[in-house]
Amino acid sequence: MEALLALFKANMPDDVSTVIHGDWKPDNIIMSEGLSPTVLAVVDWELSTIGHPMSDLANMCLPYHVSYILK
């Protein structure tokens, strides 16, 4: 446990707050059509809140991590 706590402390990102989406996933993004698609809109903001910007990334990656563990 001591080694794990030291690892977390050494790699902790700066503590910042911003508006986070809360439900960041591909089906909440509207993309343009064509060979070079761009993001036109991000929808479904009902779970938005104030938090660390990396939390949206962590929430989006969690299903991939959990499915890897369950195999």
Cβ-count burial of 69 within 10 angstroms (0-12 exposed, 13-18 middle, 19+ buried)? exposed
**Predicted pLDDT of residue 60:** 83
Give the Cα separation of 54 and 60 in Å (integer). 10
What's the angle, vertex CA 59, arms to CA 48 and CA 6, rounded to 5?
115
Mean pLDDT per 10-residue run, the chain (71 residues)? 91 86 89 93 94 87 70 57
Give the torsion sign (CA, 52, 58, 59, 60).
Answer: positive
Tokens 């960041």 identify what position?
24
